[in-house]
Amino acid sequence: MLAMPLSETPRRAGTVSRPPACESCAARSLSICSAMQAEDLGRLASARTHQQVAAGETFLNEGDAATHFFNLVEGAVKVFKLLPDGRRQITGFLFAGDLLGLAFNESYSYSAEAITPVKLCRFPRRQLERLLDEFPRMEKRLLAMASNELAAAQEQMMLLGRKTAHERIASFLMSLARREERAGRPGEMLHLPMTRTDIADYLGITTETASRVFTSLKKRGAIELEGAGTVRLADRDALEELANGLE
Amino acid sequence: MLAMPLSETPRRAGTVSRPPACESCAARSLSICSAMQAEDLGRLASARTHQQVAAGETFLNEGDAATHFFNLVEGAVKVFKLLPDGRRQITGFLFAGDLLGLAFNESYSYSAEAITPVKLCRFPRRQLERLLDEFPRMEKRLLAMASNELAAAQEQMMLLGRKTAHERIASFLMSLARREERAGRPGEMLHLPMTRTDIADYLGITTETASRVFTSLKKRGAIELEGAGTVRLADRDALEELANGLE
DNA sequence: CGACGGTTTGAGTCCGGTCAATTGTCGTGG
DNA sequence: CCACGACAATTGACCGGACTCAAACCGTCG
């Protein structure tokens, strides 16, 4: 386990405010790196493999032996689980800088598929485990990340268990906006690389419902659409309220 | 974050198979202890506070400063989040031996309420952080626990997002049964300390639906009820299939 | 241009929610 | 021991939001 997606990490005083550039794989914000010394990076780098994945390709399968973990360098990825009859639940979207497959079980508990063309850095898990033994600071960092992941997971349970379709979409959009802003980009204009079906499978609704809600929010003036992939959050306050079940 | 509930920890070879008794707080399976030396336990113990909580009492509030973490010594606890209008999502049930409040954020992201009368051991978080610095093995153990938690959380997302009411109840029962068996007790006869409303709020359905599904499963012969609090899993294979969306 | 995948829209259905009434359970005190 | 009150659980009737099935509408790319 341990996939590190849109976790809403609160910037805490005392934490390294911006991880340094990770030379070894050209990722601008590989958060794990901030806990490593240059030499460690070198050691990990020696074992890493760069990998390209085409859009739509599944490069990690639920149940497979968890031999590697990944750093997503470029592109977007969906992480999901399937039921035998094909029903799908997407448990997270990952973007550049996110970590994937940091499992401590012997097999992956989810699958991962590229949404856009993807560049990733693959590390053998053993290598990481050795590093963890030697550099406890890294472990602490991972623990903090896992902690944030868990908080995000509980938030998602709240969404899936108790929110209406409108509230789910609003929550989703606000969550993306906050992520953009945490990365220093404006959060008003969003580019959605995933399809309506992906969004639906992430929010526990159907494609049709997702689409209907988007047009409904547009009619209300809460958002503007330019094609299906671009959303402008026209009334963030309204969306925020909706996301929290008010109104 | 980090609440450690019914995570289905696979017993891995090479891991301590059964944590030694934790003298300091009379818990029989305080998993964190297995990573500590006796002296450390003593140090933690010096700062601990024993605490009794009556059934129905909320002893931990979402948003409060996360100053302590807890070991549940006896009883059952529900962990939940609320929406402003009162809708509730229970994110987990905790039982004897489980850890609670092991947050690495500055405030709790959930509330916790006693289901039955509860005994807990309260430790200041600072103490733990010092210990973690000195004993990396503990950190590793926590990381593994967090990893299992995350896998369980994703399983729950699958349930909340995609399963039917029948499948949810079946999954819930099977999950409880496995937990019992992992603890060395027979999993066929279950005692449910929580109300139907609690179960419903955990599974993202209503009390009425939960109740209807229980009686429906009873009529089908999959379970037997003796009062609302005791369930016998009469046909585990059927329940297992239902839980996975087959049939 | 036509084909294909994704999106939107429409009509009808149904699972689970809502509201309401009844029954069951248990602890308390007369 | 039983009556009572309070709360949980069950059951019923009805409703509605989201699902299903189906058709039309893009946008992009060969």
pLDDT in tens, A24-56: 453 333 445 444 545 556 666 667 889 999 999
For A178-224, what is each residue's pLDDT tens digit? 999 999 999 999 999 999 999 999 999 999 999 999 999 999 999 99
Both B119 and B167 in a single domain? Answer: no
Are residues A147 and B143, on separate chains, in Cβ contact within 8 Å? no
Query: Which residues in chain A touch residue B109, judged by CB atoms under 8 angstroms apart?
Result: 151, 154-155
A202 touches strand C (CB under 7 A): no
Which residues from the 160-179 window of protein chain B have CB within 7 angstroms of nucleic acid chain C?
A: 164-166
H-helix or E-strand containing A175? helix A165-182
Q: How many domains does chain B have?
A: 2
Q: Give CA–CA dist A91/A105, Å, rounded.
A: 18
- CA dist B213 to A100, B205, B228, Å? 37, 11, 13
For A:56-115, CB contacts with B below 8 A are: 81, 83-85, 87-89, 91, 102-106, 109-110
Q: CA of B50 vs C1' of C26, distance in Å?
A: 30
How confident is the model at residue B219, as a pLDDT? Answer: 97
Q: What average pLDDT does this structure show over A242-247? A: 93
Mean pLDDT for A72-77 is: 96
Query: What is the reported pLDDT for A159?
Result: 98
CA distance B159 to A142: 27
pLDDT of A41 reads: 60
Q: Are residues A130 and A191 in the same domain?
A: no
Q: In angstroms, what separates the C-alpha of A107 from chain B's closest C-alpha?
A: 11
Residue that is last in its domain, among B155, B181, B197: B155
A121, part of any domain: yes
Is any atom of strand D within 7 angstroms of residue A58's beta carbon?
A: no
CATH number for A109: 2.60.120.10
Q: Which of A3-7, A13-17, A193-197, A201-205 has the lowest mean pLDDT?
A: A13-17
Least CB–CB distance from B157: residue in A103, A104, A156: A156
Q: Which of B150, B158, B201 sits opposite A149 (nearest CB)?
A: B150
**Statement: residue A104 has pLDDT above 70:** yes
pLDDT at A154 exceeding the cut of 80: yes
Whole-number Å distance between alpha carbons of A183 and B203: 34
- Residue at which a domain ends, from B120, B137, B155: B155
Task: Give mean pLDDT in consecutive 10-residue pieces for chain B, a chain of 247 residues.
Answer: 53 37 42 50 71 94 94 97 97 96 88 96 89 82 92 98 98 98 95 98 98 98 94 98 93
Q: Is the CB of B58 under 7 A from strand D?
A: no
In a shared domain, residues B64 and B104: yes
Task: Give the CA A212 to C1' C12 distance in Å.
Answer: 17
Containing structural domain, residue A138: 6-155
Q: Are residues A179 and A68 in the same domain?
A: no
Residues A94, A196 share a domain: no
Q: Do B1 and A147 touch (CB under 8 A)?
A: yes
Q: What is the pLDDT of residue A133?
A: 81
Is A143 found in the same domain as A168?
Answer: no
Query: Are B183 and B236 part of one and the same domain?
Result: yes
User: What's the pLDDT at A64?
Assistant: 95
Give the model's pLDDT for residue A113: 98
Q: For A56-67, how does the pLDDT look when each residue is reduced to its tens digit (9 = 90+)?
A: 999 999 999 999
> A46 to chain B nearest CA, in Å?
24
Look at the block and give the residue holding tokens 């029903």: A87
**Whether pLDDT at A136 is above 60:** yes
| B39: exposed, middle or buried (Cβ count in 10 Å: 0-12, 13-18, 19+) | exposed
> Whole-angstrom distance between the N-terminal and C-terminal Cα of chain A?
37
pLDDT of residue A105: 84
Residues A174 and A75 in one domain: no
Closest CA to B177 of B233, B241, B246: B233
Both A146 and A183 in one domain: the answer is no
What is the model's pLDDT at position B4?
61
Name the more confident of A128 and A113. A113
- What local confidence, expressed as pLDDT, does residue B44 receive? 65
Domain assignment present for B125: yes
pLDDT of A84 reads 97
